[in-house]
Amino acid sequence: MGTKNAEWHWHDGDVVTVGDKATIALHDLTGFEGRCEAILFCRDVDFEPSNESAALTAFRRKLLGLPDYPDDGGNFDLIVVGGGLAGTCAALSAARNGLTVALVQNRPVLGGNGSSEVRVWPEGKTCVDPYPHVGNIVEEILPQLGKKASRTKRPPNRLQS
């Protein structure tokens, strides 16, 4: 899966027969931690979902029971899309400076690659000249690795849900 096209698309997983119980496993053949949006099982072997963006969006919304158009979330001075480290810091900084901020995130935890979900812990020098305050929020929301802390067992942080 995921080796035929760089764009999001349906990838035919072939025909399978399952009993009362089945185990599903995906194996990334790209070598780059590929992502899968959904797995669709269908009894009709001739069914093939559209890869056209508008049709695919409508199909996905229907299957998920979502409305055709999302609810109006209100008015904001700033909308930050993505709760990775940069997005989270941008949203916090803007809110602290008086802006009304919406942070839009599609994952169960904040922090992006630096979250407990992916575990690529942010490291490096922050708060250094000539901009000694640039890393303040990063330092605030991410605990420092202690001398005995393992890189694979980083202490929980406030970006976890």
Q: Coil, helix or strand for 144? A: coil
Residue 46, C-beta contacts closer than 8 angstroms, at least 6 positions apart? none
The structure's pTM equals 0.57
- Reading the block at residue 156, the tokens are 């929980």
The whole-angstrom separation of Cα 140 and Cα 127 is 11
Segments of 30-125 assigned E as strands: 78-81, 101-104
Q: What is the pLDDT of residues 91-129, one digit of tens each?
A: 999 999 999 999 999 888 888 888 888 777 777 777 889
Q: What is the pLDDT of residues 8-37, one digit of tens each?
A: 778 887 888 888 998 988 877 777 666 777
